[in-house]
A = this chain, B = another copy of it.
């Protein structure tokens, strides 16, 4: 048996998220349909992240075990020929069978893209979130930085979360102005269910004057999920990087800090 690791990108618009859910169209279903056909039997795909409905990925990883002995480029070709246009495999590596693409991640980077034109842009539909109102970017920039560090993020995670330990370390949290509005970028050792989207909603509440910059500390300290439970829409969210190497993570944080 060989363990196959794949890096993939997808447009989440047409999917009910990554994970298999009955008969719904999910990224995992598209992938397992291919492994099933190639192996003539069911082969489970394991992802690094279970992205939600509508969320995009620029660097998601999956692994699976195979008795086939194909070279890496043949794996890539087999998947890319069979996958729909909104999913693509960008790299394939054979890895040690101790490697696990979820348990071995040491960090992730997400980006949330917002455009602020007064009118919606039909060509940004499903790719960015539209916020056609006045936003105080400076306040949002100050507030974003306050998420950095090690905190209990109970207040910033969905009530549906099953895990108990809600402490995460955020290496970078930053709002970057763009030509179309702003990007929120965040790098951390891990993220709770809906955490990035709840943080984005909290930041845009601050930018609209509904909350104070200092509320970030207060709400983190409250450890109460009713304090910040609204979530920004999924369409602006991208899983942009998945890290297995400290060096790559540090390099990414350093680069984002220069922007």
Contacts and interface: CB of A to CB of B under 8 A. Distances in A.
Copies of this subunit: 2
A163 interface: no
Interface residues of A, number: 17
B90 A123 contact: no
A11 B125 contact: yes
Of all A-B residue pairs in the complex, the 4 with the closest CB atoms, nearest first, are: A11-B122, A86-B122, A85-B125, A86-B125
Interface string A69-101: 000000000001000011110100000000000
A43 to B, nearest CB: 23
A125 B2 CA distance: 33
A119 interface: yes
17 contacts: A9-B121, A9-B122, A10-B122, A11-B123, A56-B122, A56-B123, A80-B119, A80-B120, A85-B120, A85-B122, A85-B125, A86-B122, A86-B125, A88-B120, A88-B121, A88-B122, A90-B119
Nearest to A9: B122
Nearest to A58: B123
A6 to B, nearest CB: 13
Contacts of A88: 119-122
A64 B251 CA distance: 57
Given A9-B121, A56-B122, A85-B122, 10 more contacts: A9-B122, A9-B123, A11-B122, A11-B125, A80-B119, A80-B120, A85-B120, A86-B122, A88-B119, A90-B119
A127 B123 CA distance: 8
A254 to B, nearest CB: 24
A119 B8 CA distance: 11
A88 B117 CA distance: 12
A56 B87 CA distance: 22
